[in-house]
Chains A and B, each alone.
Chain A
Amino acid sequence: MATQAAEPLVEADAQVLAETIRVSVPERGIRHDLRAVSIVWRRELIRFRTDKLRAVTSLIQPVLFLFVLGTGLSSLAGRAMPPGVDFKTFIYPGVLAMAVLFTAIFSAASIVWDREFGFLREMLVAPVSRGAIVIGKCLGGATVATFQGVLLLIMAGLAHVPYSPLMLLTLVGELLLLSFTLTAFGVMMAARIKQIQAFMALTQMLVMPLFFLSGALYPLNALPAWLSVLTRLDPLTYMVDPMRHAVFGSLNISPAAVHALSPGVTWAGWQVPLGLSLGIVAAMGALMLAIAIAQFQKTE
């Protein structure tokens, strides 16, 4: 049967062939999958580039938190700060995480749009692995979100954070990891939720608790027991802490002040190493990516 349908090019068509463009679609392989990852990723970038409004609007919220809330609260919270440390500097890493949080999850929402406008089908009927499409989506969301984070990094000076190259490099790496994990989380949800309204409502509902429980706006020590437990359950905590560590490592202040403001995450008194924190975020990202791929494997 296969032989029958594998109809050869006809010699007699030579005349036609002279002006022919021969296309043969090769067998699926790793290079093909990588090409698919790359184009899905690039599409996210193209769409982000053409949607300037989105880039601006998703910056508004973090900027409000950093400069309006940060300035407004400094008169109050400033008294608790060690001398020479601005309250804005303290919340800066948390606001970075927040910028990435919104952008990453909303870029995952594009899957829901794609489903609504039919484009998802174009991707799902292609002879590529679903994994390639999901990974491309997550990388695209991660890149776009990290770019938003970088825009905030440019404003670091306004929050009295020095432009130390090592710190900036560390933060960009951490932003990438965080935004990939968050996009994977968004994509995992988008696999299940078919209506954009439902997706937006659900993510809004999840995003705010994630942010408030992450220690983005307060230090993690000396909390009441209930809040202490909740903060340790929030995956975002394990990303805000390394970012704060990077920021405070670059400040020229006493070790005691660093310890007071960036105490690190503890589990029942045990100091969680930074590597483990980052590992937790990476593991969550990998897990959610795997779930997302498995879910897209099942649809149509």
Chain B
Amino acid sequence: MSVHIDAESGPDGTAPAAAGRDRPLGSRGDGHAAIVVSGLTKRYGDIEAVRGIAFEVMTGETFGFLGPNGAGKSTTIKILCTLAEPTSGAARVAGHDVASERDAVRRNIGLVFQDPTLDGYLTATQNLRFHADLYAVPRAVLQPRMRQVLEMVGLWERRDSLVSTYSGGMKRRLEIARGLLHAPRVLFLDEPTVGLDPQTRASIWEYINDLKRREDITIFLTTHYMDEAENCDRIAIIDHGEIVAIDTPEALKASVGKDRVQISTADDQAAIAELAATFGIEAAVHEGAVTFSVESGEQFVPRLFAGLATAIRSVSVSRPSLDDVFMSYTGRTIRDAEVTAMDHNRNMAAVFRRR
């Protein structure tokens, strides 16, 4: 069973674009932007959380915002969901301005937040019914639609259990089901798998990928997990409130082009000096190992052993990953960034608490 969003006309009564009728089944990125952001900034007092970002997300695309904690991901998603007003710049979601047409935006989006927003004293069905009434889902389609979204996330059997008896993963799945109940055109997932165990994370991603196949939906998500970002059609890498790179995961990895070599040595500083002197390679310590990039890692390793006087304890060569992409654009690995972002993050948290 599959569900389609009925978007025959926008809530503002605009006629559908005739050109769209010829779009082949399952085609994505047909040139219609679901999200358009331009010159967006957001300040909280002295802290500039978002510093003038611009991007477009095409209809049907899965678009990921990748960055360390405190990079401005959550602030951006809040603005797009009409939960925060931009300091300057503009954003349109599903064709509506997030500042001046809040209700129209809200009707067309589904939200899954980092923090749970379910009522634990109600059953899954009751939570969904509550949502359906707030979003005015027509009563005639409510029952089949509820069944459909609950089956999609594998909670149909548990529909009459109190949500307080659910595990963390089940709650997140129920939130995803609820976010889809009113067939939004754009689904926002803010760190959809944070705080879940690896197995549950994988299953959440199965549901999301399944969802992409079944529903004609645009997905905007934020994550600070590199492996998750690989699931996206396109990624924007955000750091310190700015977008540093934006492309498909493959293109981003290709742009780095080099293999990453990490060696652990008896004396890291000596090894770095030697690498510079002997091979002309710039290396640095990341995650406790001497790290550098070379064109062809496996061919370089034998030369490395022959040429380096410092004792090497272990070596690892890896193909470019999004970690390397992040590193090549920001000069840090995402985990390094998380550490330095901690203080910044604390400041941000303080700002949010005050609001």
| Docked-complex contact A2 and B135, CB < 8 angstroms | no
A213 to chain B, nearest CB (A): 35
Cβ contacts under 8 Å, B119 to chain A: 43, 47, 114, 117, 119, 122
| Docked-complex contact A3 and B2, CB < 8 angstroms | no
| Docked-complex contact B21 and A10, CB < 8 angstroms | yes
Contact status of A23 and B16, CB under 8 A, knowing A3-B95, A10-B25, A125-B81: no
Interface size range on A against B: 35 or more
A197 touches B (CB below 8 Å): no
| Docked-complex contact A26 and B83, CB < 8 angstroms | no
Q: Which of B1, B17, B115, B183 contacts A7 (CB 8 A)?
A: B17
Interface size range on B against A: 35 or more
Contact status of A39 and B136, CB under 8 A, knowing A16-B2, A23-B141, A118-B113: no
B window 1-19: CB within 8 A of A? 1-12, 14-17
Contact status of A26 and B32, CB under 8 A, knowing A2-B10, A125-B83: no
Cα–Cα distance between A21 and B148 once the two chains are bound (Å): 9
| Docked-complex contact A3 and B116, CB < 8 angstroms | no
| Docked-complex contact A2 and B4, CB < 8 angstroms | no
Q: Which of B4, B59, B120 contacts A13 (CB 8 A)?
A: B4
B window 108-144: CB within 8 A of A? 108, 111, 113, 115-122, 126, 129-131, 133-138, 141, 144
| Docked-complex contact A300 and B130, CB < 8 angstroms | no
Cβ contacts B292-309/A at 8 Å (1 or 0 each): 000000000000000000
Cβ contacts under 8 Å, B133 to chain A: 35-36, 38-39
> How many A-B Cβ pairs are below 8 Å?
186
| Docked-complex contact A6 and B7, CB < 8 angstroms | yes
Q: Which of A12, A26, A122 contacts B117 (CB 8 A)?
A: A122
Q: Which of B6, B14, B30 contacts A23 (CB 8 A)?
A: B6
Contact status of A1 and B92, CB under 8 A, knowing A19-B1, A22-B141, A300-B83: yes
Name the CB-closest residue of A to B97.
A1
| Docked-complex contact B130 and A12, CB < 8 angstroms | no
| Docked-complex contact A22 and B116, CB < 8 angstroms | no
A232 touches B (CB below 8 Å): no
Cα–Cα distance between A6 and B185 once the two chains are bound (Å): 9
Cβ contacts under 8 Å, A43 to chain B: 119, 122, 126, 130
Q: Give the dominant DSSP class at B's interface.
A: loop
Cα–Cα distance between A10 and B27 once the two chains are bound (Å): 10
Cβ contacts under 8 Å, A12 to chain B: 23-25
Contact status of A125 and B116, CB under 8 A, knowing A5-B185, A24-B6, A32-B136: no
Cα–Cα distance between A251 and B153 once the two chains are bound (Å): 62
A123 touches B (CB below 8 Å): yes
A46 touches B (CB below 8 Å): yes
| Docked-complex contact B96 and A8, CB < 8 angstroms | no
| Docked-complex contact A119 and B23, CB < 8 angstroms | no
Cβ contacts under 8 Å, A8 to chain B: 7-8, 16-17, 20-21
Cβ contacts under 8 Å, A15 to chain B: 25
B82 touches A (CB below 8 Å): yes
Cβ contacts A34-56/B at 8 Å (1 or 0 each): 01101100010011001100000
Cβ contacts A55-95/B at 8 Å (1 or 0 each): 00000000000000000000000000000000000000000
B44 to chain A, nearest CB (A): 14
Cβ contacts under 8 Å, B14 to chain A: 2-3, 6
Contact status of A128 and B32, CB under 8 A, knowing A5-B95, A28-B103: no
Name the CB-closest residue of B to A50.
B121
| Docked-complex contact A35 and B136, CB < 8 angstroms | yes
Cα–Cα distance between A3 and B182 once the two chains are bound (Å): 21
Cα–Cα distance between A38 and B132 once the two chains are bound (Å): 12
B145 touches A (CB below 8 Å): yes
B177 to chain A, nearest CB (A): 13
A4 touches B (CB below 8 Å): yes
Cβ contacts B274-315/A at 8 Å (1 or 0 each): 000000000000000000000000000000000000000000
Cα–Cα distance between A117 and B30 once the two chains are bound (Å): 40
Cα–Cα distance between A128 and B182 once the two chains are bound (Å): 14
B107 touches A (CB below 8 Å): yes
Cα–Cα distance between A269 and B37 once the two chains are bound (Å): 68
A127 touches B (CB below 8 Å): yes
Q: Which of A6, A24, A26, A117 contacts B16 (CB 8 A)?
A: A6
Cβ contacts under 8 Å, A21 to chain B: 1, 3, 141, 144-145, 148
Q: Which of B6, B82, B138 contacts A125 (CB 8 A)?
A: B82
Cα–Cα distance between A8 and B9 once the two chains are bound (Å): 7
| Docked-complex contact A23 and B145, CB < 8 angstroms | yes
Q: Which 8 pairs show the lowest CB-CB distances between chains A and B?
A: A5-B95, A8-B16, A6-B10, A39-B133, A126-B134, A23-B183, A24-B6, A2-B95
Knowing that A43-B126, A117-B119 are A-B contacts, what are 6 other residue pairs whose CB atoms are under 8 Å apart, sorted by A's residue number? A1-B36, A12-B25, A22-B141, A25-B11, A39-B130, A39-B134
A-B contact pairs, 18 of them (CB 8 A): A2-B10, A3-B10, A6-B7, A6-B9, A6-B10, A6-B16, A9-B8, A10-B25, A12-B24, A21-B3, A24-B183, A39-B130, A43-B122, A46-B121, A114-B119, A121-B113, A127-B104, A128-B136
